[in-house]
Amino acid sequence: MCGIVGYIGNKKAAPIVLDGLKKLEYRGYDSCGIASCCTGIQIKKGVGKIEEVEKIHTLADIEGNLAIGHTRWATHGGVTDENAHPHSDCSGKICIVHNGIIENYESLKQDLTSKGHKFKSDTDTEIIAHLIEEYNKGDLKEAIFQALKKVEGAYALGIISSDEPDKLFAARKESPLIIGVGEGEGFIASDVPAIVNHTKKVMYLQNERVAVITKDDIEVFDLEGNKKKPIIREILWDAALIEKQGYDHFMLKEINEQPKAIEETINGRIKGDKVDLSEEIKLTDEEIKKISNIVIVACGTSWHAGLVGEFMLEELARVPVEVEYASEFRYRNPVLGKNSLIIAISQSGETADTLAAIKEAKAKGCRIISICNVMASSIARESDSVVLTHAGPEIGVASTKAFTSQLIVLYLITLYFGKIRGILDDFIVKCRIRDLRQLPLFMRAVLEDTEKIKDIAETYYNTSNSLYLGRGIEYPIALEGALKLKEISYIHAEGYPAAEMKHGPIALIDKNMPVVVVATQDNITYNKVLSNIEEVKARGGIIITVATKGDKVIASKSDTVIYIPKTSYILSPVLAVVPLQLLAYYIALKRGCNVDKPRNLAKSVTVE
Ligand code: AGP
């Protein structure tokens, strides 16, 4: 949700910032711009993806060793050249880029207008530049402190001024921002991919902190001006991970990385025949035994992972679980007890709704475990403990490998809790671990056999509607398959529990309606799903099934079957989702859609 990059050092800044912005384009891509400081501030910006704006404005051509840049996902103000960032004050000397939302911008704008400030855009961001100008009496840092104390909402900011051309200022509240430390140079960025080619030393700026970065130093302050110690960490990422490595799209690369991602996520967490999460979860056995209920909070694909987790935890650890949309959770005064446990799931670790849900639960005295793919992200830091998914950076806006890695973590937590709570004995845990260890191999088999999926895409890419059905643990996979299709191909797709179809959606079925059914054999409702398939067929609908290898019964009832290897029912979602990811991918490709940067979406949704 908007990406920001900044550079200060001895090199020409604009090309470095431009390169960083390209790596952050997954965060927003409706407009972009760069401001550089040389003999004054020069700004170049415009509407469109970076590649398009670059052609018109030659963004990298601006001189100067200090620059900030922005790629936008519009919130306040339409997608216009004027609303593209960077924004400046009346004098044109102070220039800022912003990610977040300033909630009290209207009253601030009125006040500043009455004091004579002239605004050029409709954004909430521009008021910050004017507010800093208003407080600036010759010390920009002081003015930033004053301005930020007036601001309500979320911000990650990069600020430069032609009056202080040897300083890059950064500030953060809720929205993510990292500072990169190089040899004689400094960087700011919304996310690691923007700077990992230049440095692996980063500092995660904390909430309500201002950083003053020169080419040789970083100073960090709270809004009262008290100096804080910067904590520098080493990023373990390999820069190659954020390249496409021969794939046409990040999404396809990430789908294919799933066997590796789940192996990495399992690694180190199984000791002998036991799952050991004690160091990560940091709960004593006594505390785990006392858990009265679990509430999973998440959004989008991570929410779907939560629904699978609910099934796993209730089935194998016998703990009552509820799964909540994080965006709804905090507005309904949830009933939580002192032994309720919250599990927050988020790939990015920055989703504002999930962060807000965590804060709500914390205020009610609950303990929070998060499942995140980004170490030191806001959600990871807000939580009492974190179990990381080791999926590696996920760049494609449509989440794939993060999802399957989340399922693996939920399964590991389930086995860990189930054993400690006395529900699972050693033998069962051993068998369940054996099932888990087979998954990467099975998944590779699914990924090697994509011809059928490409054929289905070829046949149905022109459809305008589709239905995805599943029951039990496969219902969230139907939801996820439908979400993937809508996100990247813009085909209307609905996920439904198969048995619910007859209560309404069946009215939609006709000969033009493809119905994707997830139905692996090993479950008590399998026969009932077969009846649902008959109901669709009786109305002329087209049946595409994801089924277990060797299932001839379902083949006789389907127009097309995609087979997955047989695994335990509880792990079948990890395999069943892969053909649906690929189906969405190939359909979107046939429709000429921008798979990695679907319209209106952004990778990390840092606004509520
Ligand atoms: C997934 O394909 C989506 N782009 C989206 O639903 C995403 O899962 C959601 O915004 C939550 O993101 P998070 O996992 O980073 O919190």
pLDDT in tens, 180-225: 999 999 999 998 889 999 999 999 999 899 999 999 999 999 999 9
Cα(606)–Cα(501) distance, rounded to whole angstroms?
35
Instruction: Give the residue numbers annotated as catalytic, written as ranges.
Output: 2, 603
Q: Which residue has the tokens 């401001």?
A: 35
- The two three-digit tokens of residue 251, written as one number: 């999404």
- Per-residue pLDDT, averaged over 491-511, amounts to 92
Number of helices (H) and strands (E) in the chain: give both, helices first.
Answer: 20, 27
Q: For residue 349, give the 3-state DSSP assignment.
A: coil
Exposure of 177 in the CB half-sphere (CA atoms within 13 A): 31
Closest CA to 105 of 79, 84, 126, 82: 126
The tens digit of pLDDT for each residue in 56-71 reads 888 888 999 999 999 9
- The two three-digit tokens of residue 3, written as one number: 């990406």
> Does residue 145 register a pLDDT over 80?
yes
pLDDT confidence tier of residue 174, bands split at 50, 70 and 90: confident
Which DSSP string corresponds to 242-299? GS-TT-S-HHHHHHHTHHHHHHHHHTTSEETTEE--HHHH---HHHHHH--EEEEEE-
Amino acid type, 427: F
pLDDT confidence tier of residue 54, bands split at 50, 70 and 90: confident
Q: Is the CB of 299 under 6 A from ligand 1?
A: yes
Q: Is the CB of 36 under 6 A from ligand 1?
A: no
Task: Give 193's DSSP letter.
Answer: G
The tens digit of pLDDT for each residue in 259-295 reads 999 999 999 999 989 999 999 999 999 999 999 999 9
Q: Is the CB of 450 under 6 A from ligand 1?
A: no
* Other beta carbons within 10 Å of 441: 11
CA-nearest residue, atom 4 of ligand 1: 398
Mutate which of 399, 400, 608 for ligand 1? The one with the most ligand atoms within 8 Å of its CB, which is 399
Beta bridge partners of 4: 70
Cα(245)–Cα(240) distance, rounded to whole angstroms?
8
Distance 602 CA to ligand 1 centre (A): 9
Q: Which residue has the tokens 């040789």?
A: 216
> Does residue 244 register a pLDDT over 80?
yes
Distance 95 CA to ligand 1 centre (A): 31
- Per-residue pLDDT, averaged over 436-440, amounts to 97
CATH 3.40.50.10490 region(s) of the chain?
A: 244-445, 451-590
314-319-325-330 Cα dihedral, nearest 10 degrees: 170
State residue 218's pLDDT score: 96
> Does residue 237 register a pLDDT over 80?
no
CATH 3.60.20.10 region(s) of the chain?
A: 3-241
* Chain centre to alpha carbon of residue 302: 9
> Does residue 47 register a pLDDT over 80?
yes
Query: Worst-scoring range by mean pLDDT, 49-63, 99-113, 415-429?
Result: 49-63
- CATH number of the structural domain 3-241: 3.60.20.10
Strands (E), 452-595: 465-470, 492-497, 514-519, 542-548, 560-564
Angle at 410 between CA 407 and CA 412, to 5 degrees: 110
State residue 28's pLDDT score: 77
- Per-residue pLDDT, averaged over 509-520, amounts to 93
> Does residue 242 register a pLDDT over 80?
no
Q: Is the CB of 604 under 6 A from ligand 1?
A: yes
pLDDT confidence tier of residue 605, bands split at 50, 70 and 90: confident
Distance 488 CA to ligand 1 centre (A): 13
What fold, for 451-590? Rossmann fold (3.40.50)
For the chain, what is the radius of gyration of the CA atoms? 25
Q: Is the CB of 487 under 6 A from ligand 1?
A: yes
The tens digit of pLDDT for each residue in 339-377 reads 999 999 999 998 999 999 999 999 999 999 999 998 778
Q: Is the CB of 354 under 6 A from ligand 1?
A: yes
> Does residue 449 register a pLDDT over 80?
yes
- The H-or-E segment that residue 154 falls in is none
CA-nearest residue, atom 7 of ligand 1: 300
Mutate which of 175, 303, 348, 490 for ligand 1? The one with the most ligand atoms within 8 Å of its CB, which is 348
Angle at 590 between CA 587 and CA 592, to 5 degrees: 110
Q: Is the CB of 301 under 6 A from ligand 1?
A: yes
Distance 297 CA to ligand 1 centre (A): 12
Angle at 370 between CA 368 and CA 374, to 5 degrees: 145
State residue 503's pLDDT score: 93
State residue 140's pLDDT score: 96
Q: Is the CB of 347 under 6 A from ligand 1?
A: yes
The tens digit of pLDDT for each residue in 292-329 reads 999 999 999 999 999 999 999 999 999 999 999 999 99
State residue 582's pLDDT score: 98
The answer to whether 186 touches 119, Cβ cutoff 8 Å, is no
> Does residue 334 register a pLDDT over 80?
yes
Query: Worst-scoring range by mean pLDDT, 59-63, 107-111, 454-458, 490-494?
Result: 59-63
Closest CA to 320 of 346, 350, 340: 340
Beta bridge partners of 188: 6, 179
Cα(345)–Cα(30) distance, rounded to whole angstroms?
28
Q: Which atom of ligand 1 is nearest to the CA of 351?
A: 16
pLDDT confidence tier of residue 394, bands split at 50, 70 and 90: very high
- CATH number of the structural domain 244-445: 3.40.50.10490
Distance 299 CA to ligand 1 centre (A): 6
Q: Is the CB of 31 under 6 A from ligand 1?
A: no
State residue 77's pLDDT score: 84
Mean pLDDT estimate for the chain: 93
* Largest Cα–Cα separation, the chain: 79
Q: Which atom of ligand 1 is nearest to the CA of 400?
A: 2
- Per-residue pLDDT, averaged over 397-409, amounts to 97
> Does residue 6 register a pLDDT over 90?
yes
State residue 358's pLDDT score: 95
- The H-or-E segment that residue 381 falls in is helix 378-382
Closest CA to 605 of 157, 17, 26: 26
